[in-house]
């Protein structure tokens, strides 16, 4: 069931999104060759505590960290660890915050040092596809309008689109209805209404569409081990159009 949010609730999610944006901006500035994803997780936990939120992912279905850190061929749900990032890597940082009962969710994929032009383009196009999806997040459209905008952008460059994982409603919980796929399927295709809050999150592979779950039972990697990018914003659908509630840029 899709839960529409009233103005007070949207203001609460907006406040949560502001905290999350601060955290993401700080984490972005700390990605450089030699740092480990475990250090990024420690920084995230300190920031979340200082800013007065709660890490929504920590303990969620047993997840052991405050952020997901997915390096190179990892798509999503990577567990922070002690491996040092190297120049040429990319790392997706995904974080969810709860503040006074309201949830926000965001992700960014960052280059570490200098990446190849091919990987740089993957990051640009995936980020662009997120914005094309957000443009369609307006009352009167349907979920598939968001999905189609993302899919067309990504496929026009020949990239793979991850299908088993997708965006979602968010706000009163970290995952709510509806699902927001990054492709146009035959599933539910609800109409978008003012008061809906959704996390839009394209996951894009340099190679094919397929993904695999690693033995840690969390990390999702591209099936062909090609490099994978992921960007996410929490977006409110309002009378006058979409509002990004996690402006981490």
What are the residues binding Mg ion (CB under 5 A)?
94, 105, 107, 199, 232
φ and ψ at residue 124, rounded to 5 degrees: -60, -45
Shortest CB 165 distance to Mg ion, Å: 9
Nearer to Mg ion, 93 or 122 (CB): 93
| End-to-end Cα spacing for the chain | 31
**Measured distance CA(25)–CA(128) in Å, rounded:** 19
Measured at the alpha carbon of residue 18, what is the angle toward residues 107 and 23, in degrees to the nearest 5?
A: 50
Nearer to Mg ion, 141 or 179 (CB): 179
Contact assessment for residue 80 and residue 41, using Cβ atoms and an 8 Å cutoff: yes
Shortest CB 80 distance to Mg ion, Å: 15
**Measured distance CA(110)–CA(93) in Å, rounded:** 8
Shortest CB 94 distance to Mg ion, Å: 4
Nearer to Mg ion, 14 or 224 (CB): 14
The DSSP 8-state label assigned to residue 245 in this structure reads: S
Nearer to Mg ion, 2 or 224 (CB): 2
Token pair 């695999």 is found at 212
Shortest CB 168 distance to Mg ion, Å: 6
């Amino acid at each position: 069931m899709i839960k529409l949010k009233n103005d007070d609730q949207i203001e609460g999610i907006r406040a949560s999104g502001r905290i999350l944006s601060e955290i993401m901006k700080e984490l972005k500035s700390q990605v450089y060759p030699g740092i480990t994803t475990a250090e990024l997780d420690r920084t995230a936990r300190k920031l979340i505590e200082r800013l007065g939120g709660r890490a929504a992912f920590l303990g969620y279905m047993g997840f052991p960290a405050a952020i997901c850190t997915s390096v190179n061929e990892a798509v999503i749900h990577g567990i922070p660890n002690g491996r040092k990032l190297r120049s040429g890597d990319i790392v997706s940082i995904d974080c969810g915050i709860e503040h006074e009962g309201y949830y926000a969710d965001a992700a960014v994929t960052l280059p570490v040092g200098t990446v190849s032009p091919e990987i740089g383009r993957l990051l640009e196009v995936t980020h662009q596809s997120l914005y094309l999806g957000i443009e369609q997040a307006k009352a009167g459209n349907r979920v598939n309008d968001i999905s189609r905008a993302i899919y067309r952008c990504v496929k026009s460059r020949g990239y793979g689109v991850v299908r088993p994982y997708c965006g979602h409603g968010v706000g009163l919980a970290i995952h709510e209805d509806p699902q927001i796929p990054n492709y146009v399927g035959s599933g539910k295709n609800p109409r978008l209404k003012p008061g809906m809050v959704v996390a839009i999150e394209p996951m894009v592979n340099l190679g094919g569409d397929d993904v695999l779950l690693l033995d840690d039972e969390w990390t999702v990697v591209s099936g062909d081990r090609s490099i994978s990018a992921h960007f996410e914003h929490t977006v409110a659908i309002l009378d006058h159009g979409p509002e990004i509630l996690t402006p981490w840029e």
